[in-house]
């Protein structure tokens, strides 16, 4: 299944050949070399059916393909303690078939029509996607609407998939040094919040969950009012909407959904400085440092995205210059990501130590460096380079219908809107140095953070 993805917000021009030239060199922010956002056009139509199903149509004339994405508003943060992993488990089971389309028929029909499909689960949602030739829209709509209401699951299929997920859990976390590092860090930085447990779930919960409990979960959350269809590509808008109504209008909401759907009680992040030493099969120490972040508004997020590029994106980033690309390197590699979730977030710094370098000295230096980073390392030139890089990656990323759909899903889940995408582009290009300094000081000048390392020389700690 598709892994959790972290992608930057992007833009695209549909129905024309607009490709603004953006140089890798620094562009004078006072010059006239700016993007004309009025020429960047994504045609978006939003509809809501009487049963609450939301539909976002994005017609394009670029290629004879369609990206068809079904977004369910349920992820691991919605799971109760003792039932973790239910969203991810259910994602697997949705490929087991229905009465109308038995196991194997779904993939056979999609691939037989020249397309491919998969799915992924995150902390906040579950997404099923089909990338297909434009001629297969009706066929895929019939398939997706059917498995939304008619999951058929035998005891044998359920137990087989449970073993598959437990093996996936072992491969992803227990037997992977980087996976172990990631899980322990995220669990610690989000301790006490709904983001504390992994998306895959805890081993005991996976082993203990019953088929009936998963079916109840399916009936509760796979409801029209908790679902958004995003269709991007070459299609006639009126015909597509008629097909949606034909295949989805008769779907009913689960009885329990409205009554039991509730946001978790708290997203307050842990405020503490913590260090973890984990035993794992890594010849050189792998390290991760996470600074907890509260949910940001649109303006602050744009500034923090650019800040993260300056800090740790690519060979010319400040972390690379300080710890790798110099005469006395401490690490073989290092980078930073803005780990953004719907209700919270974290700055993640990840790296691999060089042999013979002390982990404790690096931790001390990194914590001190980030606390003073806001004043010492952010310059006008670095900010403009970050903007240029963001724009270049944006146009490259959204050169496909699936990229457009991903972007719209992000806009919908993060900002509860899709029409105002031009504001997002404008915000990124207009972020100034004072704004970046302000956001940096607000979020980084703190001792709060979780530092973790995994290494085969660390002692084994029994649970």
pLDDT digits (tens, 9 = 90+) for 54-68: 999 999 888 899 999
| pLDDT, position 446 | 81
Angle between the 421-430 and 401-415 helix axes, to the nearest 10 degrees? 80
Q: How far is CA 45 from CA 156, 236, 322, in A?
A: 43, 12, 47
Q: What is the pLDDT of residues 20-54, one digit of tens each?
A: 333 344 344 444 445 555 566 788 999 999 999 99
The helix (run of H) or strand (run of E) holding residue 63 is none
CA distance 77 to 128: 18
CA distance 280 to 456: 5
Region of residue 236 (phi > 0: left; psi between -120 and 50: alpha; otherwise: beta): beta
Mean pLDDT, the chain, rounded, equals 87
| pLDDT, position 1 | 35
CA distance 169 to 392: 36
> Which residue shows structure tokens 């037997």?
175
The string of DSSP letters for 292-341 reads EEE---HHHHHHHHHHHHHHHSSTTSHHHHHHTSSSS--EEEEEEEEEE-
Higher pLDDT pick, 430 / 259: 430
Q: Per-residue pLDDT averaged across 258-281, rounded?
A: 73
Give the 3-state secondary structure of residue 158.
Answer: helix
| pLDDT, position 114 | 93
What is the percent of the chain where pLDDT is above 70?
87
| pLDDT, position 195 | 93
Q: Per-residue pLDDT averaged across 323-343, rounded?
A: 94
Check whether 450 has a pLDDT greater than 50. Answer: yes
Check whether 7 has a pLDDT greater than 80. Answer: no
Q: What is the pLDDT of residues 120-130, one digit of tens each?
A: 999 999 999 99
CA distance 22 to 141: 39
Q: What is the pLDDT of residues 386-418, one digit of tens each?
A: 999 988 887 776 778 998 899 888 878 776 666
The domain made up of 273-455 has a fold known as: Cytochrome Bc1 Complex; Chain A, domain 1 (3.30.830)
The helix (run of H) or strand (run of E) holding residue 344 is strand 344-353
Q: What is the pLDDT of residues 291-301, one digit of tens each?
A: 999 889 889 99
CA distance 308 to 48: 37
Higher pLDDT pick, 10 / 222: 222
What is the percent of the chain where pLDDT is above 90?
69
Q: For the chain, what is the radius of gyration of the CA atoms?
A: 23
* CATH architecture for the domain at 42-260: 2-Layer Sandwich (3.30)
Q: In the chain, where does the domain assigned CATH 3.30.830.10 lie?
A: 42-260, 273-455
CA angle 346–351–352, rounded 5-degree value: 155
Q: Per-residue pLDDT averaged across 203-229, rounded?
A: 95
Q: Per-residue pLDDT averaged across 156-174, rounded?
A: 96
CA distance 68 to 144: 9
Q: What beta strand segments (E) does 102-246 contain?
A: 116-121, 126-133, 227-233
């Amino acid at each position: 299944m598709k892994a959790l993805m972290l992608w930057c917000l992007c833009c695209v021009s549909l129905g024309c050949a607009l490709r603004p030239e953006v140089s890798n060199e620094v562009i004078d922010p006072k010059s006239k070399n700016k993007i004309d956002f009025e020429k960047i056009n994504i045609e978006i139509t939003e509809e809501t059916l009487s049963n609450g199903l939301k539909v976002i149509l994005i017609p394009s004339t670029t290629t004879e393909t369609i990206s068809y994405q079904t977004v369910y508003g349920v992820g691991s943060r919605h799971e109760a303690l003792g039932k973790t992993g239910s969203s991810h488990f259910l994602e697997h089971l949705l490929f087991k078939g229905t009465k109308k389309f038995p196991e194997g028929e779904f993939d056979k029909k999609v691939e037989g029509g020249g397309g491919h499909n998969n799915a992924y689960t995150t902390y906040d949602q579950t997404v099923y996607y089909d990338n297909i030739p434009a001629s297969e829209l009706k066929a895929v709509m019939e398939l997706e609407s059917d498995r939304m209401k008619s999951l058929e699951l035998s005891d044998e299929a359920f137990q087989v998939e449970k073993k598959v997920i437990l093996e996936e859990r072992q491969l992803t976390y227990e037997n992977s040094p980087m996976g172990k590092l990631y899980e322990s860090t995220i669990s610690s930085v989000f301790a006490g919040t709904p983001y504390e447990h992994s998306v895959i779930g805890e081993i005991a919960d996976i082993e203990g969950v019953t088929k009936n409990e998963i079916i109840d979960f399916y009936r509760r959350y796979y409801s029209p009012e908790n679902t958004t269809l995003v269709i991007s590509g070459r299609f006639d808008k009126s015909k597509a909407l008629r097909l949606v109504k034909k295949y989805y209008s008769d779907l009913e909401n689960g009885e329990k959904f409205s009554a039991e759907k509730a946001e978790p009680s708290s997203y307050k992040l842990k405020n503490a400085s913590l260090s973890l030493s984990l035993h794992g099969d890594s010849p050189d120490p792998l390290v991760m440092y996470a600074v907890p972040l509260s949910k940001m508004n649109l303006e602050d997020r744009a500034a923090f995205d650019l800040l993260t590029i300056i800090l740790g994106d690519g060979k010319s980033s400040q972390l690379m210059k300080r710890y790798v690309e110099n005469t006395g390197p401490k690490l073989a590699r290092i980078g930073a990501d803005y780990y953004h979730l719907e209700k919270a977030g974290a700055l993640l710094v990840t790296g691999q130590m060089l042999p013979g370098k002390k982990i404790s000295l690096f931790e001390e230096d990194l914590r001190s460096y980030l606390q003073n980073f806001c004043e010492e390392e952010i310059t006008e030139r670095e900010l403009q380079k970050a903007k240029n890089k963001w724009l270049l990656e944006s146009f490259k990323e959204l050169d496909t219908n699936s990229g457009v759909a991903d972007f719209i899903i992000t806009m919908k889940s993060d900002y509860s809107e899709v029409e105002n995408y031009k504001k997002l582009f404008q915000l990124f290009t207009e972020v100034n140095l004072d704004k970046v300094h302000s956001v940096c000081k607000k979020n980084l000048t703190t001792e709060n953070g979780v530092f973790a390392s995994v290494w085969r020389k660390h002692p084994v700690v029994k649970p």
